Amino acid sequence: MADQLLEQVRDAVEGQIDFEGQRLAEMLTTVLLGAAGIVAFLVGFMQQDIRLALYIGLAGTALTFAVVVPPWPFYNKNPEDWLASHNATSTSAISIDVDGQKVG
């Protein structure tokens, strides 16, 4: 039972993300942190309250953390198909041609 629970936690934490998901995560980070900074500055300036501005900035950072850090499924919509390793036992041999020479 404990092994199954540990395996579920490990699968959830490991998470897979593809190259397009990395690009999306970077764009979301930039947009969310920028928007939080602008909103925090404007609200703090209008209210003349630095503490409120800091809390809004902190909330924006926490929101960005919650959106970007966990391996959400939409970050892995375009997974890459990698070649099998040489140690893999397969029925068909994979031959790769590089400049007319057989590799692998």
The predicted-structure confidence for 21-66, as pLDDT tens digits, reads as follows 999 999 999 999 999 999 999 999 999 999 999 999 999 999 999 9
What six digits make up the tokens of 29?
């980070």
Q: Using the predicted structure, report yes or no on whether residue 91 has a pLDDT greater than 70.
A: no
The pTM of this model reads 0.69
Q: Which residue has the tokens 């939409």?
A: 74
Q: Which residue has the tokens 């397009």?
A: 20
What is the average per-residue pLDDT within 80-85? 79
